[in-house]
Amino acid sequence: MQQPVRIAPSILSADFARLGEEVRAVDEAGADWIHVDVMDGHFVPNITIGPAVVKAIRPHTAKPLDVHLMIAPVDAFLDQFAEAGADTISIHVEAGPHTHRSLQHIRKLGKRAGVVLTPQTPAKALDYLLEEVDLVLVMSVNPGFGGQGFIPSALRKIESIRKMIDKAGLTIDLEVDGGIDAETALTAIAAGADALVAGTATFRGGASAYAANIRALRGG
């Protein structure tokens, strides 16, 4: 069943010189989760942050930290991000040979387990994983950089995954990340998404604009 829409601002678009303040600002502006993009320069062509930054921002919000690991291999880092304060840890089905085992380990750490599909990966990749996850993240851009345009074919994938989740009778968050703005947010929600990652669209205009930006992503 599709749940109320949750907004997860991506700190990738925040002012990193004032990261604690930025996290507090989007929290107060109405964010539901704080999305943390972790890139390794290997699985994706960019390098961002590690567990130390997750640990540093943890005291600045009580909202869930939604940590998206764009790294490979991933298993060696799961414990570190769990200890740093992640609430949800999402891993790419394309990033490792034993996704099922990795998802089980995340849950053993007491964290919510998420699985991520890049644009070329079909919904069918979830066939034997849905029972092991709390969240599915559909990438609507190619991972590695912020500020990209939404890939329309992601909508068909969102629709397919929504049907899979509902048919299985599971309660799983269906999150979309990439090119989300006030317009694409509505189409993603209509396709079945119930959680939206937004970096540029949230952090545009400075702290005084964050509340209005988040309201716009919710459709009003």
Catalytic residue chosen out of the listed positions 37, 66, 173, 194: 37
> Is 147 among the annotated ligand-binding positions?
yes
> Is 146 among the annotated ligand-binding positions?
yes
> Is 177 among the annotated ligand-binding positions?
yes
C-alpha to C-alpha distance for 148 and 197, rounded to whole angstroms: 13
Compute CA 141 distance to the chain's CA centroid, rounded to the nearest angstrom.
12
C-alpha to C-alpha distance for 7 and 155, rounded to whole angstroms: 18
Catalytic residue chosen out of the listed positions 27, 32, 66, 177: 177
Give the residue among 185, 174, 175, 187 at the shortest CA–CA distance from 214. 185
Largest CA distance in the chain: 45
Give the residue among 103, 106, 157, 156 at the shortest CA–CA distance from 128. 103
> Is 140 among the annotated ligand-binding positions?
no
> Is 35 among the annotated ligand-binding positions?
yes
C-alpha to C-alpha distance for 111 and 115, rounded to whole angstroms: 13
> Is 10 among the annotated ligand-binding positions?
yes
Give the residue among 116, 117, 91, 94 at the shortest CA–CA distance from 104. 91
> Which residues have CB under 8 Å from 52's CB, separation 6+?
84
C-alpha to C-alpha distance for 109 and 83, rounded to whole angstroms: 9
> Is 145 among the annotated ligand-binding positions?
yes
Instruction: Please confirm, yes or no, whether 177 is among the known catalytic residues.
Output: yes
Annotated binding residues for substrate, written as ranges, equal 10, 68, 144-147, 177-179
Annotated binding site for a divalent metal cation: 35, 37, 68, 177
Binding residues are 10, 35, 37, 68, 144-147, 177-179
Q: Any idea which residues carry the catalytic annotation?
A: 37, 177
